[in-house]
Structure 1
Amino acid sequence: MVDAVRDGADNVAGLGLSGVGGALRPLFPEWADDLPPAPEALEDVHWADEATLEFLLFLVSRRPQPVSIVLTFRRDEVPSASLLLRLSSRLPSDAHLVRLTPRSLDVAQTASFVSSMLAGEHVSNEFAAFLNARTEGVPLAVEESVRLMHDRADLVRRDGSWARRRPERIEVPPTIRDAVLERVQRLGPDTRTVLYAAAVLSGPADCTTLLAVTGLPEERFAAQAAEALGSGLLRETESMNIPVPSARRRRGPSCCSQPRR
């Protein structure tokens, strides 16, 4: 496309580009003097300030609707009082909401994704299965893990496909580590204690074991374990069902498992 534009126009001064044309600056540095200023970097809307969210609410309410709006955000990053929740809960009657929830990749999809990062070259099934198991198929975790292994020269060509030099272990990418730590630090001290205990146990654990490791009083543990589950950093399993006293059953989970990677 870049070559086609260069072949079709000597410069862009007379094309009447909108402000969005500033995004072309990295592609056409020789036309920088004639292109609009570069727009600000895009970001997920859960990081938007209140003024931006108020503008989005106004824009959605306009009739006739002048534009289509596509928003990306992580639900567990949205505070309960955020104006962002009104965008989906108070839509006009003629508006159509399409909500897309990304799913984890399976082994075949992981192999295809990694292959796309390596110039389309084949990835061994063994490596794809290993990476999928360690990242639980989360696309960002897969991407950052491959980047880290590439930077550390930990990917090698073997029998015509890409494989990992040391298949027995995988490092946590700093970007993933920092993102998880940032989410953990927003939680209260007791909730962090529950998460730290789950991390120490490493594998699935019942509530009795997790409670013992945290050292928290049972009532506080039930409430904070529920908050940890709600944060998405801890998840329940179906293999264990340890009941809690009826007075606390409404406040906490009946079963706890392991920290999410």
Structure 2
Amino acid sequence: MLSQVSRRVLATAGPALRQQQRLLTVTVCGGGNAAHVAAGMFSNQGAEVKLFFSFERLEEILNTVHKHTKYSVGGHFLNTTLWCTNAIIHPGISYGIWHDWDGKPVAEQPLFYQNCNDFTANVLQTLSDEIQACRDVIAARTTADMSKWQPIAEYMVDVYGHVISDTSSLAKIFATNDAFRGLTAPCTQLDDGTFMPNFNTRYLTEEKIGHEYLVDGKIQGGDVSHSGCPQRFGIKTVEQLVG
């Protein structure tokens, strides 16, 4: 079944669909489920399907479908790839909580975001700074528009500012964010009621914790071959990455 949003996006894209000699060219304004739904519908009828993604009308369509939200589309896609979201936040905070853990069960399940202190904030800021350095190199050496990228503190305030009571530091931004209030670190409860950290939770496995990518300062670890790293696909320079 198509979702209501997918139906409306497909209806908008419908006039752009054309079929020639069993070759269907599907033009979709932006990505998402609609592209896959359209491809599946026509390939099941025996057509060969090619998908072309265009963002030229994405802003118009998003603001038509979502009446009460203002979407602004712009910048290079690498802004999204380098965004300081879960891939930075989850491992960074987890390290902050457990970096000096003695391996013994704990009496209480630690708060995850509200537990953010200066040490953890420094870990998060360091990760953000490293990404910003990459962003700056991409912007300097290519024509990619990287102006939409935000450092972690700016991003958090932009998204959650209305529910953050103290924005004076990165630690306070996380610790006083009401959207995160009460969320605890992933743990496994033992029979005696104590807790052990669960390092196999999606908070960490989705962010590739426990894999080897960096060796001697280069992305050449044993797990690169089944990752999304550009090096896996033979991309070795910033210019190749941007294309």
Task: Output the TM-score relative to the length of structure 2.
Answer: 0.27
Structure number with the bigger relative contact order (C-alpha 8 A, sep ≥ 6) is 2
